[in-house]
Structures are given as C-alpha cells and as structure tokens.
Amino acid sequence: MGEVGAELDDGSLAAARELLAAAERVLVLTGAGISTDSGIPDFRGPDGVWTRDPEAERLSTIGHYLADASVRERAWRHRLDDRTWTAEPNAGHRALVDLERSGRLDLLVTQNIDGLHQLAGSSDHLVVEMHGTNRTARCVACGWTAPMGDLLERVRAGEVDPDCPRCGGIVKSDTVYFGESLRPERLERAFEAARNAQVLLAVGTTLAVTPVARLAPVAVESGAGLVIVNGSATEYDWLADAVVRGSISDVLPRLVGD
C-alpha cells in the first residue's frame, strides 16, 4: 500500500540503496500500493474498492459475470467511471523506468492491471502483468480482443452489455477474474527471474496472495537479497534484508536514484 505507515527510517533506506546499487540483476514486484498515489484505490485496504462496496467483488468473479447479465451491465457501468482512465504515473513508476535505463532491471512483475508502468515508460517486453490489463477487452468465446476504449464508446452510445462483434460472445476485461487461473507462461517467466535475481525489490504489496507472493522466498532461497517498500507490514518482512516504510512515490526515487 502507498500510504505512510511509519516515519521513514534513513538507516533502512541506506541499507536498501546499498543492496540495489550492488545488484546487476534486479527483479521488481509491484502491487496496488504503487498506484494509490496516482489516485487508483486498492481493493482490500481501508478505502479499497471491495471494502467500500463488497458486492463489487462479484463483478470480477467469472462465474457471476458469465451467468448474470445484470452483473455484466453493472460491470460495464463501473468501467466507465474507472479511475484508471484519468490516472497518471507517479514518481514511483518513473523511478522504476530509471532503474530499467540503468541496465539493472531484469524483469518487472506487476499484480496491477492499470497499465501505468508502460505509460511511465517501462518497456513492454520487461513487464509481466500477472493479472492482465483492464486496457484491453477480450471475448471469452473466441478470444477476440480490442482496446477497452472501443467497448466503452459502445456503452456510452447505449449498449448496456456489448457483445463480441466477431462471434456474439460475452466480452470482459482482459484481466484474471476470480475463478480463472493465472497464465502459466507468466508465472514461469516470473519464477525464472526470481531464481536468477541478485535482488528482489517488492513494492506496494503485502506479499499475501499466492502464488505471486512466493517469488520472495524463492528469490531468497536462490541467493537474492530482498528489499521491501510498503506502507504497512507484509508477510515476508521477517525474510527481508531491508524494509522501508513510507510513501512509495517518495521512497522509490530516493532508493534507485543516483
């Protein structure tokens, strides 16, 4: 999470900077906390989407989405007002672009679906979106895809549940819903990077959701250092070489900058 959880510890920041400065292969894992400073709420935090509206979780559950037209209609209305469309990358996102330009970023694995890493300038081929992206729509029947903006224009024009123009099937965001599996090739690429990394930098995630959270112990077991930047405690603070608390958009530029 991106909010300040404690006063910034300069000692922890210095230790984290030292680890990163010495690493030639850095694996970065980001969660919702890196985007909260861009105005995108997380899901389960105090002001999270599902905390404020528990019924909203149904919109991202594949069984409900496929079976109930009213759920799909509500989902499309919700997409129209998604804060993603007006959000801008923050200094935390841009700091990771700087890390890439230094030649030390091996892979950026994100649990986010907002596309802000790429908007900030991260190279698409170095970003693994574990949960997909809400900037693309996909037909569940034939696999047809299109920019989400094209579908939202149809909703604004009066379609409450726009279908696939190719086969008439149900269309959803190209994200992993509850009840769906993560794509194996994405998992394999992430865990391969964890086994080869010299440092794993975990940012804005509580490291509580498996299997992605397992990247932390796998990296450490393979000899990597672990740096955690988050606004609150995580499941693997005890395993980390350095834990930095504070606003992510403030901490990351200081952590990876010259």
Q: Match 């690429």 to its residue by tokens.
A: 189
Query: Sign of dihedral through CA atoms 243, 244, 246, 251?
Result: negative
3-state DSSP of 109-177: EECCCCCHHHHHCCCHHHEEECCEEEEEEEECCCCCEEEHHHHHHHHHCCCCCCECCCCCCEEEEEECC
Please answer whether residues 162 and 169 qualify as being in contact, where contact means their C-beta atoms are separated by less than 8 angstroms. Answer: no
CA distance 188 to 128: 11
State the virtual CA torsion across 229, 7, 83, 178 in degrees, nearest 10.
Answer: 50
Q: Would you call 117 a catalytic residue per the annotation?
A: no
Active site residues: 131
